[in-house]
Amino acid sequence: MMNGNLETLRQWVGKKESRSDVATAWPIVAMSATLDRNDPEPNAGEAIPPGWHWLYFLEAKPASELGPDGHPKRGGFLPPVPLPRRMWAGGRIEFRRTLRVGEALGRDSEIISVEPKQGKSGSLVFVTVRHTVSAAGETAVVEEHDIVYREAAKPGDPSPQGKSAPENAAWRREIAPDPVLLFRFSALTFNGHRIHYDLDYCRREEHYPGLIVHGPLQTILLLDLCRRNEGRPVRKLDYRALHPVFHTERFTVNGNPSGDGSKVDLWTANAAGHYAMAGTAYL
């Protein structure tokens, strides 16, 4: 990227926005169904699972303000990075206090870095946003979310190389990411990115063989795996997206607790057995 362009983008560092919402029950019911859980409908005051704060504070831009990929056009809260492909790269989440159904919520967001890098696929720009979610005047969640912008895909680009994940896991769940699952998650998070539902767009514009399984969906599945197998709550999660998963392949959600029980190594693996999302949950 041109140095002058980069300096313009770095002017976004320190930019802030605040939003408010109410932790209503319906998104919890819908997410439970999407994850194939049989949870009873929650009552006011019941705990919201970790990571499910992503069901709130949703951005709802008018259709006229969307870009060709279905995302809001560049240059609002996020910097106007000229690279066309925007992806969820990973993040770090600290769960300080349980959110509860019926609470009034607040979220303060700040752009804390804009950094260029050069990768095998070309130029990259990483933007990191810090979100602080509060309830009843208390900080509940502190999250740093990494977004990566990449160059446009070109026909004939080599497929990304995968890294083999462990073949054995103490906890394992297999997922068939059909278009219905991806649609439901997109609807719940009001995510208009066409890579998750528009197969023609994926193949013609992004040169992917199938629809992309959402990074945040994989992250929530990792946290859900902990809920299914571990009684203690997750207090912190570090995670990173490593390789795409497509709707045409079954993938696995995996976990290996440490010997002292203080943490769990978590990962999703695609049909080839390569890492897709990898992280560590601290209990």
CATH number reported for the structural domain that contains residue 137 in this entry: 3.10.129.10
Q: DSSP letter at 205?
A: I
For the chain, how many structural domains are there in total? 1
Element (H, E) at 6: helix 3-10
Predicted local distance difference test score (pLDDT) of residue 4: 54
Structural domain boundaries, residue 181: 3-282
pTM: 0.93
Predicted local distance difference test score (pLDDT) of residue 3: 56
Predicted local distance difference test score (pLDDT) of residue 154: 74
Predicted local distance difference test score (pLDDT) of residue 122: 80
Strands 104-119 and 85-95: unpaired
Strand order, beta sheet including 104-119: 16-22, 104-119, 122-135, 138-150, 85-95, 236-241, 275-282, 263-269, 251-257, 171-175
Predicted local distance difference test score (pLDDT) of residue 202: 94
Structure tokens at 17: 């926005």
Cα(154)–Cα(118) distance, integer angstroms: 17
Predicted local distance difference test score (pLDDT) of residue 271: 96
Predicted local distance difference test score (pLDDT) of residue 85: 87
Amino acid at 56: Y
Predicted local distance difference test score (pLDDT) of residue 158: 66
Q: What is the pLDDT along the chain (283 residues), one digit of tens a residue?
A: 555 577 888 899 999 999 999 999 999 999 999 999 999 999 999 999 999 999 999 999 999 999 899 988 877 889 999 888 889 999 999 999 999 999 999 999 999 999 998 877 788 999 999 999 999 999 999 999 999 999 887 766 666 778 999 999 999 999 999 999 999 999 999 999 999 999 999 999 999 999 999 999 999 999 999 999 998 999 999 999 999 999 999 999 999 999 999 999 999 999 999 999 999 999 9
Predicted local distance difference test score (pLDDT) of residue 156: 66
Predicted local distance difference test score (pLDDT) of residue 62: 93
Cα(266)–Cα(258) distance, integer angstroms: 11
Helix and strand element counts for the chain (H, E): 5, 10
Q: 264-269: list long-range contacts, CB under 8 Å, 24+ apart.
A: 264/171, 264/226, 264/230, 266/222, 266/225, 266/226, 266/239, 267/165, 267/166, 267/222, 268/218, 268/221, 268/222, 269/165
